Structures are given as structure tokens and as C-alpha cells.
Amino acid sequence: MKRTPPRLHVVCKHILGMALAGGFMIGRLSAATGDESEIRAVMSAQTAAWNRSDIDGFMDGYARSSATEFVSGDRITRGWQTVRDRYKKKYSSREKMGTLTFSELKITPLNRDAAIVLGRWKLDRKADKPHGVFTLLFRRTPAGWRIVHDHTS
């Protein structure tokens, strides 16, 4: 019976260890990429809803929770319903809503159930073209990825 030299045995263990670690990292990368795609899909659905004047559809991107927060200017709005009511009041007509675009999205996973999205927003309206930046905190919920904190300026 032929014995495997000890050095070869150690090398094989290292190769096996690296292969397993690589598989783990690829699995994590695939999960992160899938999460990023899901978050982008939420934001795309929000844009589509906004551009058809559907505030309720736009609000589907937010967690339906009393803990959901929206920060803009010097105001903090808490609760999904309160945030929805704010949008309904501020954007009460098609003209006020304009056409929404998001750009320069940077999605940073914090852990498997949370991510931060940094980006730019722009409204194209007949009278003006307001624009700014935002930071969103997304959390994985039973309904999928949803915004739990929105800081828009």
C-alpha cells in the first residue's frame, strides 16, 4: 500500500479549505447580488408608481410600520400612514408629482437583512426641476426588502 507523503496531504487540505472558503464567498456574493437586485426592483417599482401618479403604489416600497421614518429639511415624519399622508398632501396633482428619476444608486449591504442606499432623485415638472440626494435604510421584511428610514434632501 502506497502512503501519501505528509507534505502532499497538507497541500491537499489547504486546497480543500480554500475551495470551501471560495464557495462560501461566492455564495455570499451571490446572495448580496440577489439582494441588490431585489432592492433595485423595489426602487424601480416606486419610480413606475410615482410616474403614473400612484402614491399608494410608491408607498409599497416602505415598511408598513409605525417605526418607518422620513426625514427632510427640518422635519421628521414617523409612521407609514403619516409618511403616506405627507406625500398625498404635498403631491396632490400630476403637475406637482412630475416625472421621478433615481440615479447614481450605491447599495451597501450592512448585514443579511439590512442595506443602505445612497442616490440622487430628480422631478421633471413643467414649472421646475427639483432634485436632491437621499439615503435609505432598507430592511428585509416578510413582505421583502422595504424602506424603514428615508433621509431626503
- Domain membership of residue 10 (yes or no) is no
The amino acid that residue 74 corresponds to is D
State the CATH number of the domain containing residue 131: 3.10.450.50
For residues 71 and 83, give the distance between their C-alpha atoms in angstroms, rounded to a whole number: 10
- Domain membership of residue 98 (yes or no) is yes
- Domain membership of residue 25 (yes or no) is no
Residue-wise pLDDT for 81-108, tens only, equals: 999 999 999 999 999 999 999 999 999 9
Q: How many domains does the chain have?
A: 1
Q: Are strands 99-111 and 114-124 parallel, antiparallel or unpaired?
A: antiparallel
Is pTM beyond 0.85? Reply is no
- Domain membership of residue 1 (yes or no) is no
- Domain membership of residue 139 (yes or no) is yes
Range of the structural domain that residue 80 is part of:
31-152
- Domain membership of residue 22 (yes or no) is no
Q: What is the pLDDT of residue 6?
A: 56
Cβ atoms of 57 and 138 within 8 Å: the answer is no
Q: What is the pLDDT of residue 33?
A: 79
- Domain membership of residue 108 (yes or no) is yes
- Domain membership of residue 19 (yes or no) is no
Task: Give the residue-averaged pLDDT of 38-43.
Answer: 98
Q: What is the pLDDT of residue 40?
A: 98
